[in-house]
Amino acid sequence: MTFPSLSDVEVAQKRIENYVLRTPIIESPDVNSQLGFRLLLKMESFQRTGSFKFRGAINKISKLVKTQICQGVVAFSSGNHAQGVAAAAKIFNIPAIIVMPSDAPETKITKTRNYGAEVFLYDRKDGNRVAIAKQIQKDTGYELIPPYDDLDILAGQGTVALETLKYLETIDCKIDTFLTPISGGGLMSGCALALRGIDPSINLVCVEPNDYNDTELSLLQKKRIKLVPNRPSICDALLLETPGKLTFEILKTLGVRGISVTDYSTQNAMKIAFNEFKVVLEPSGAIALAAALDKNFDYKPKCILAVCSGGNVDQNFFKETISKI
């Protein structure tokens, strides 16, 4: 199995630098004091389309349109990859068809359409999004843009880590822990390739809802497992039942650890993000912060960086969610 390398992430960074935003890293002295360690937040919720997913999508699509004829693109996603692909396709003036679950947050469906994409809705319980997308690919001749198991997607997501390390150098700060949410594994596997190539000492930890912790369990068992969750989670972007094939091999090989948190912890993180950091995060975008706040580590961290991966959340849902804490 071929892995991308640090050099692939560096090439991706150069390719997409004129399209992506350099998202800020923020902190709260009050929160640091309460935790007993320094906590930095990488605000990918401020990225174009409101999520880190734009990085991988623009890297993949910009490479496609510059190296071959691309009539259009098709993708499957619960929301953030959908918007990333739709926005990237719009930049290059090519059509996009996005397969999305009918129960995806309405704000994500609407925003995907607003970028000019055609949205194909399916029933998450009965439909197979991969099969649907592949059939559309066959019928249209469009290029399929996977959400994670793709070298160019991973390299694009890995630019989050390169950008982070470059900024940390300017403030003379060294982190000992790097936290990201995980579903298919594109963000952490891409970042792991970059971080292991530059500073192997950093603890790499991916975070899931505790009833959807397929990656955590797979890493413990050193093989991909499939879960059959028996309850819902507010983290709508993190509801896969098994890790990606390529991404899991990267995570396993590079020594990434998995942990899981409750929805209550995620709700609390959303509230703290709003009250202390003055930012709005969707549940999946707040879960890495939740893990940092839970302090569920078997070592004593000194400086943690948590990637806040997205902020695409319905206003009413957000208000209701943080009011419960």
3-state secondary structure 127-194: CCHHHHHHHHHHHHCCEECCCCCCHHHHHHHHHHHHHHHHHHHHCCCCCCEEEEECCCCHHHHHHHHH
Q: What is the DSSP string of 246-267?
A: HHHHHHHHTT-EEEEE-HHHHH
Let me know if residue 216 belongs to a domain. Answer: yes
| Structure-token pair, residue 106 | 């309405």
Q: Domains in the chain: how many in total?
A: 2
| 317 in the same domain as 211 | yes
100 sits in which H/E element: strand 96-101
Same domain for 171 and 315, yes or no, is yes
**Dist. CA 189–CA 211, nearest whole Å:** 21
Among 219, 222, 224, 64, CA closest to 146: 64
If asked whether residues 131 and 207 sit together in one domain, one would say no
Is residue 12 situated within a structural domain?
Answer: yes
Out of 144, 170, 201, pick the residue that ends a domain: 144
pLDDT at 124: 85
- Residues (pLDDT < 50) of the chain are none
The answer to whether residue 109 sits within a structural domain is yes
Residues 206 and 89 in one domain: no
Query: 235 and 181: one domain?
Result: yes
Residues 178 and 46 in one domain: yes
pLDDT at site 68: 82
Task: Say if residue 233 is in the same domain as residue 298.
Answer: yes
Side chain identity at 222, as an amino acid letter? K
* Distance from C-alpha of 153 to C-alpha of 187, rounded to nearest angstrom: 9
Tokens of 305: 């960086």
Q: What is the CATH number of the domain that holds 26?
A: 3.40.50.1100
Evaluate whether 117 touches 98 at the Cβ level (below 8 Å): yes
Same domain, 61 and 181: no
Does residue 293 sit in the same domain as residue 159?
yes
| CA–CA separation, 153 and 171 (whole Å) | 29
Q: For 97, phi and psi rounded to 5 degrees? A: -120, 125
Q: How far out from the chain centre does Cα 272 lie? A: 20
Range of the domain at 27: 6-51+150-323
Check residue 253 and give its pLDDT.
98
Cα–Cα distance for residue pair 283/298, rounded to 1 Å: 25
The answer on 191 and 45 residing in a single domain is: yes
Q: How far is CA 205 from CA 50, 145, 216, 259, 266, in A?
A: 23, 26, 10, 7, 16
Q: What is the pLDDT of residues 43-69, one digit of tens each?
A: 999 999 999 999 999 999 999 998 888
Say if strands 96-101 and 118-122 run parallel, antiparallel, or are unpaired: parallel
Sign of the CA dihedral running 322, 283, 222, 174: negative
Query: What is the DSSP secondary structure assignment for residue 310, as one 8-state letter?
Result: B
Q: Identify the pLDDT of residue 132.
A: 96
Question: To 10 degrees, what angle do helices 245-253 and 151-170 make?
Answer: 40
How far apart, in whole angstroms, are the C-alpha atoms of residue 284 and residue 313? 10
pLDDT at 268: 98
Q: What is the 3-state secondary structure (H, E, C) of 7-24?
A: HHHHHHHHHHCCCCCCCC
Query: Cβ(12)–Cβ(57) under 8 Å?
Result: no
User: How far apart are the C-alpha atoms of 148 and 209, rounded to whole Å?
Assistant: 19
pLDDT in tens, 56-108: 999 999 999 988 889 999 999 988 999 999 999 999 999 999 999 999 888 89
R_g of the chain computed on alpha carbons: 18
- Let me know if residue 266 belongs to a domain: yes
**Whole-angstrom Cα distance, residue 101 to residue 303?**
38
Task: Tell me the per-residue pLDDT of 261-282, one tens digit each, with 9 for 90 and over.
Answer: 999 999 999 999 999 999 999 9
